[in-house]
Amino acid sequence: MFPRIPRLPSAAMIAALSCMTGFGLVGSPAAADPTFRDFPVVIYCEHEHITNAYYFSQLGPDGKAIYLTPDRQAGVISVAGVAEHLDGERVGSCRDKTLDDLRASGQAFDLSQ
């Protein structure tokens, strides 16, 4: 029916990946290519008075970051693009916002350095 979405990584795994990125062990060596450090760890979005936490899950070769909720809702965003819900039907508080917009509105949270 639907493709199986892998389980979300644990907080420890996310922290470890972020640390490795800081030491240059993960990510692209090219400065212009997006890396894990360019994206927040979690983005909060509201839809019909329900707030969902979207957790950073994967960075694709096209530079788009995939975010998943614990109930397997998915969204994507790129460094220069806007947030989109993958099913295309939801119009929540994150839709069409850039990463800068999400950070400015307090909806995006980065790991502290």
Is 3 domain-assigned? no
- pTM of the prediction? 0.69
Is 84 domain-assigned? yes
Is 95 domain-assigned? yes
pLDDT for 7 equals: 53
Structure confidence at residue 21 as a pLDDT band (50, 70, 90): very low
Buried b (16+ CB within 10 A) or exposed e, 81-107: eebbbeeeebebebeebbbeebeeeeb
Residue range 53-79, pLDDT digits in tens: 999 999 999 999 999 999 889 999 999
Is 15 domain-assigned? no
Query: What order do you get walking across the sheet with 84-85 strand by strand?
Result: 84-85, 74-78, 64-68, 50-59, 42-47, 108-109
pLDDT for 88 equals: 66
Q: 7 or 80, which is more confident?
A: 80
Is 52 domain-assigned? yes
Is 4 domain-assigned? no
In this predicted structure, the answer to whether residue 46 has a pLDDT above a threshold of 80 is yes
Span 11-19, mean pLDDT? Answer: 44
Domain containing 60 equals: 39-113
Number of domains in the chain: 1
Span 98-107, mean pLDDT? Answer: 96
